[in-house]
DNA sequence: TGAGAATACGAGTAGTCGCTCGTGTTTGTC
DNA sequence: GACAAACACGAGCGACTACTCGTATTCTCA
């Protein structure tokens, strides 16, 4: 009898990720994108835990079995979604942020330039908060979205280091952490608020809080 | 044949809650307290969803069946725990807060008087954040802890209204919300930090952020 | 002291969820 | 056209979880 180990569904991972898997055809790559998009929608409607893999498959228009042709498990889907978010956020910020111009901008202007695209991104990608704006994540998820957090932290750190050269070391790290926490805390409120004066007021409040905090840090 | 409706386990609720149930003996009341304490521990070690009712029962030293003699379902346990937290927080704050003295205190002093017992409480009751410091709760839990949120919001609102008479209406509400969000965002970090300089630095940062924000609000 | 109420037990039930597996179809390659 | 690899299906498995039920014990109080 021919032993058939290694014959069970072996999954691919995003390129450049160490994992090996079947060579994806164009159809397969489209499917993977579909699945990630569907996951983003389902996560957005509840939470990571509450989202079922069967629901994701259904939303993507495929069977549960097909889903597992492309992702080894639920965490891998979250990881792929986190990677997509990192990439898209990079694009959105690159568009809005011109570091050279910011060098001479006021703190208000800098904050506006950073926050505005971030809010747009959160509004356009409501699944984002399921992976980002949570204080208590299941360990597996924490690992999956660690690169996302690391990336954002790095970007904020670079910005603050440029803006406040007198900040360094632990103090800088703490300031970055607190600033991110404030944004994370306010974002769900902003996204949940109805478009118009209500949301605008909350955004203004976020500006105010961040501006006041950062002004004080270097006082 | 004698129909036996209403004979299945009928549960009690905390007194003054509308629900009727069996008359609790002293033993039963002790059990209920045990269960709530056990739930607090188990919630603290993971999260509300991840905590299983069987684990709570085991921690309380009773069988799953016994647990359901006292609580109709998992949500009721969370509700009871939330009520306990409201009561204990009330005591802790009443001890530390003397509204008359605060009337003449500086903003720094007021913040210190409010924040210090809050942090002590969070350190002593690590299950608290499972019910409080979460942006996205399951709907049932939301309802269960709504009184807790309402209570805290009311207290903060009263304090801010006294402190900043020029604030009123929506602006006051928003300020209360943001202040609470900042505390909620920082608390998990503070609790997770190791005792000593690391935690102290984060607490100082929380002070700074709140102080800066509130000073700015009335600027 | 005895009857009914409250408390206690824990194996068991129904339901859910992540994931598998046997099987069939499409696509790329020669 | 033949063959393998990739893609697709969906019933259903195994593990887990909130909760139940039949039964046994302890308490209360007339």
Give me chain B's average pLDDT, please.
89
Examine the domain organization and report whether A111 and A59 are in the same domain. Answer: no
* Nucleotide lying nearest to B28, CA to C1' measure: C7
Residues B112 and B48 in one domain: no
Whether the predicted pLDDT of B188 surpasses 80 = yes
* Number of domain units in chain A: 2
Q: Is the pLDDT of residue B9 over 60?
A: no
Q: Are residues B89 and B173 in the same domain?
A: yes
CB contact, 8 Å: A72 with chain B? no
pLDDT at residue A6 in the model:
36
> Cβ contact (<8 Å) for A184 and B185?
yes
Q: Is residue B64 part of a domain?
A: yes
Asked whether residue B4 is assigned to any structural domain, the reply reads no
A13 lies in some domain: no
Q: B49 to chain A: nearest residue by CA?
A: A49
Does B129 share its domain with B188? yes
Residue A18 has what DSSP assignment?
A: S
Same-domain status, A203 and A157: yes
Distance in angstroms (rounded) separating the CA atoms of residues B78 and B139:
13
Residues B167 and B98 reside in one and the same domain: yes
Residue A3: inside a domain: no
Residue A46 lies in a domain: yes
* pLDDT score recorded for residue B99: 72
Pair A117, A135 in one domain: yes
Residues 44-83 of B with CB under 7 A from strand C: 61-66, 68-70
Range of the domain at B57: 26-72
- Is residue B200 assigned to a domain? yes
The tokens for B180 are 């609470």
The reported pLDDT for the residue numbered B13 is 47
Q: CATH code at B55?
A: 1.10.10.60
Domain membership flag for residue B2 = no
pLDDT at residue number A7? 37
**Chain C bases near protein Cβ (<7 Å):** 5-12, 16-22, 27-28
Q: Specify the higher pLDDT residue, A9 or B160.
A: B160
CATH number for position B168? 1.10.357
Q: Kindly give the confidence (pLDDT) of every residue in chain A, 219 residues in length, as a single tens digit, with 9 standing for 90 and above.
A: 333 333 344 555 444 455 667 899 999 999 999 999 999 999 999 899 999 999 999 999 999 999 999 999 999 999 999 999 999 999 988 888 777 788 789 999 999 999 999 999 999 999 999 998 876 777 888 989 999 999 999 999 999 999 999 999 999 999 999 999 999 999 999 999 999 999 999 999 999 999 999 999 887
Residue B148 Cα, gap to closest chain A Cα (Å): 18
**Span CA (A219) to C1' (C15), Å:** 59
Identify whether the C-beta of residue B153 lies closer than 8 Å to the C-beta of residue B125. no
Domain boundary among A39, A74, A109: A74
Distance, CA of B10 to CA of B8 (rounded, Å): 6
pLDDT in the model for residue B202: 98
For B127, the token pair is: 């299950």
What pLDDT score was predicted for residue A71?
A: 98
The answer to whether residue B153 is domain-embedded is yes
- Please tell me whether residues A142 and A47 are part of one structural domain: no
Q: What is residue A19's predicted lDDT score, i.e. its pLDDT?
A: 61
CB within 8 A of B197, min separation 6: which ones? none
Mean pLDDT of B84-102: 86
Q: Which of A58, A74, A90 is the last residue of a domain?
A: A74
Min Cα distance B28 → chain A (Å) is 33
Q: Judge whether residue B64 has pLDDT over 80.
A: yes
In this prediction, residues B109-129 reach a mean pLDDT of 95
- B110 & B178 share domain: yes
Same domain, B91 and B198: yes
Residues B60 and B91 in one domain: no
Enumerate residues 6+ apart whose C-beta is below 8 A from A142.
Answer: none
Confidence at residue A126, expressed as pLDDT on a 0 to 100 scale? 95
Is the pLDDT at B3 greater than 60? The verdict is no
* B102-125 average pLDDT score: 93
A101 and A49 share a domain?
no
Q: What's the half-sphere exposure (Cβ side, CA atoms, 13 Å) at B88?
A: 15
Model confidence band, residue B135 (pLDDT cutoffs 50, 70, 90): low
The answer for residues whose C-beta is within 8 angstroms of residue B183's C-beta and 6 or more apart is B115, B118, B206, B210
Query: Cβ of residue A5 near strand D, that is under 7 Å?
Result: no
pLDDT of amino acid A100: 78
**B16-53 residue pLDDT tens:** 455 667 899 999 999 999 999 999 999 999 899 999 99
Q: How high is the pLDDT of residue A10?
A: 53
């Amino acid at each position: 009898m021919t032993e058939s180990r290694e014959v069970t569904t072996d999954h691919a991972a995003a390129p450049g990720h160490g994992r090996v898997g079947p060579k994806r055809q164009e159809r397969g790559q489209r499917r993977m994108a579909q699945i990630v998009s569907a996951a983003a929608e389902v996560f957005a409607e509840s939470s990571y835990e509450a989202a079922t893999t069967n629901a994701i498959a259904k939303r993507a228009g495929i069977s549960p079995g097909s889903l597992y042709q492309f992702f080894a498990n639920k965490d891998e889907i979250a990881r792929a979604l986190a990677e997509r978010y990192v990439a898209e956020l990079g694009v959105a910020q690159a568009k809005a942020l011109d570091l050279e111009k910011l060098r001479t901008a006021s703190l208000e202007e800098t904050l506006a330039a950073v926050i505005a695209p971030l809010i747009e991104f959160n509004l356009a990608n409501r699944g984002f908060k399921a992976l980002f704006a949570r204080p208590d994540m299941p360990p597996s998820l924490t690992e999956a979205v660690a690169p996302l957090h690391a990336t954002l932290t790095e970007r904020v750190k670079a910005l603050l280091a440029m803006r406040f050269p007198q900040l360094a070391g632990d103090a800088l790290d703490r300031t970055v952490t607190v600033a991110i926490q404030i944004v994370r805390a306010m974002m769900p409120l902003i996204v949940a608020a109805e478009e118009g004066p209500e949301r605008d007021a909350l955004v203004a409040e976020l500006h105010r809080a961040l501006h006041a905090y950062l002004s004080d840090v270097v006082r």
